[in-house]
């Protein structure tokens, strides 16, 4: 069975600090996709990134970066120089390639950026 | 471009009443997903459709829940009769379907917050 674990339930950091959100996934499939979504206080989930299992290159987008390591089944998300607007719940998720269209979500990490 | 539209945004009802949640996917998207979010269980997939056809409803909690997609631009999730434990935020999401398992990102609506008294 597939599973996504976000061990950090809640994190608080002071603005401008860097913060890393951990994500560990489990699947016996060798081909899959990984996602991160953001859920701000307004409630709507916002897509951030998708990676496929063939591509372990790290991704950087502005202050956001993602570290994908198949060896440890991890797909961690780092926010550099955090800002108050980054406060949200962040979900890591997994879907299986060429199987179906389900996305299995982790329980989420609630991130508080303190001014 | 309009995103996924859900209505109502908030619904308060009494136990035993029928509840109907509505969703309009993004134009051109042909996959539609219904999720439920609670503190205890997180985000759960209830059912999803490809090209208006239900593909997997294994997440539907019980027979009180039903979903339809009569056309490409509209879907409903109905709970009859509703119970207090159905209180949750219900999200609809859509994506562009090509083939199964192509990892298309899903775009979520704002959700419907349901409270059953």
Would you place residue B36 in the very low, low, confident or very high pLDDT band (cuts 50, 70, 90)? very high
CB atoms within 10 A of CB A110: 16
Q: Which residues contact A77 (CB under 8 A, 6 or more apart)?
A: A20, A21, A23, A36, A48, A64, A65, A66, A67, A90, A92
* Angle made by CA atoms B78, A89, A111, in degrees to the nearest 5: 160
How many Cβ contacts (< 8 angstroms) between chains A and B? 62
pLDDT tens, position by position, B79-100 = 999 999 999 999 999 998 777 6
Q: Which residues contact B33 (CB under 8 A, 6 or more apart)?
A: A101, A103, B45, B47, B48, B49, B92, B93, B94, B95, B106
Mean pLDDT value of segment B46-61: 93
Q: Are B91 and B108 in contact (CB under 8 A)?
A: yes
A103 contacts on B by Cβ (under 8 Å): 33, 45, 106
Q: Note whether B39 contacts A: Cβ–Cβ < 8 A.
A: no
Closest partner residue to A33 among B43, B103, B111, by Cβ?
Answer: B103
B107 contacts on A by Cβ (under 8 Å): 47
Q: Which residue has the tokens 């999720």?
A: B35
Residues of chain A under the 70 pLDDT cut: none
* Residue B1 pLDDT exceeds 70: no
SS3 A53: coil
């Amino acid at each position: 069975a597939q599973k996504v674990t976000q061990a950090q339930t809640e994190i608080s950091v002071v603005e401008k600090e860097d913060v890393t959100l951990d994500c560990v996934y489990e699947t016996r499939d060798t081909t899959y996709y990984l996602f991160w979504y953001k859920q701000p206080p307004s409630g709507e989930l916002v897509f951030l990134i998708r990676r496929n299992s063939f591509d372990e290159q790290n991704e950087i987008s502005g202050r956001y970066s993602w570290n994908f390591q198949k060896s440890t089944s991890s797909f961690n998300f780092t926010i550099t120089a955090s800002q108050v607007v980054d406060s949200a719940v962040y979900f890591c998720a997994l879907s299986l390639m060429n199987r179906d269209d389900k996305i299995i979500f982790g329980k989420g990490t609630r991130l508080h950026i303190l001014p | 471009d309009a995103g996924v539209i859900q209505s109502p945004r908030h619904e308060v009802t009494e136990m035993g009443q029928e509840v109907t949640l509505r969703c309009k996917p993004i134009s051109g998207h042909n996959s539609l997903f219904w999720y439920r979010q609670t503190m205890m269980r997180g985000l759960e997939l209830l059912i999803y459709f490809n090209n208006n056809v239900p593909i997997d409803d294994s997440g539907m909690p019980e027979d009180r829940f039903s979903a339809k997609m009569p056309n490409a631009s509209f879907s409903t999730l109905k709970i009859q009769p509703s119970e207090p434990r159905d209180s949750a935020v219900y999200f609809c999401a859509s994506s562009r379907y090509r083939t199964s398992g192509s990892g298309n990102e899903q775009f979520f609506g704002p959700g419907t917050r349901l409270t059953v008294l």
